[in-house]
Amino acid sequence: MSTTLVGNVVATPEVKFVGDSSVTTFSIAVNKKRGEETYTSYFDCAVWGPFGENVANTLSKGDRVLVFGEMKQRSYEDKNGNKRSAVELQVEAVGPELRFATATVQKL
């Protein structure tokens, strides 16, 4: 299921190496207002390879972004050997949200 999210980067993206590839992970906070109340949801994002490294070199905590991708559930084992699962957005596209900022595009 493809999803587009608009929110703020929660922390500086982190690059990890998995075998011969890299994966960049970050989270975004999405705020929704209903009446007088604001609700915040947090979404984990993963970006693979050189694209992810571009993301890590470009985004910082607090940046307002649009993120497009597919929600995926993955299973893993934690450091205590317990089976866990997580849902994260496998990012296909990311860009600045230009309502509150300006950006300069530099082609690679």
Bridge partners (DSSP) of residue 91 are 69
Strands 21-34 and 2-9: antiparallel
Domain with 87, as residue range(s), is 2-96
Summarised one tens digit per residue, pLDDT across range 29-85 is 999 999 999 999 999 999 999 999 999 999 999 999 999 999 999 898 999 999 999
Q: How far is CA 50 from the centre of its chain?
A: 15
Considering its fold, how many domains does the chain have in total?
1
Whether residue 105 has pLDDT greater than 90? no
Q: Is residue 40 part of a domain?
A: yes
Q: Is residue 101 part of a domain?
A: no
Q: Is residue 46 part of a domain?
A: yes
Q: Is residue 61 part of a domain?
A: yes
Q: Is residue 91 part of a domain?
A: yes
Q: Is residue 108 part of a domain?
A: no
Which of the 8 DSSP states describes residue 98?
T
pLDDT at 106: 81
* Cα(67)–Cα(4) distance, integer angstroms: 6
Q: Is residue 106 part of a domain?
A: no
CATH of the domain at 88: 2.40.50.140
pLDDT at 87: 92
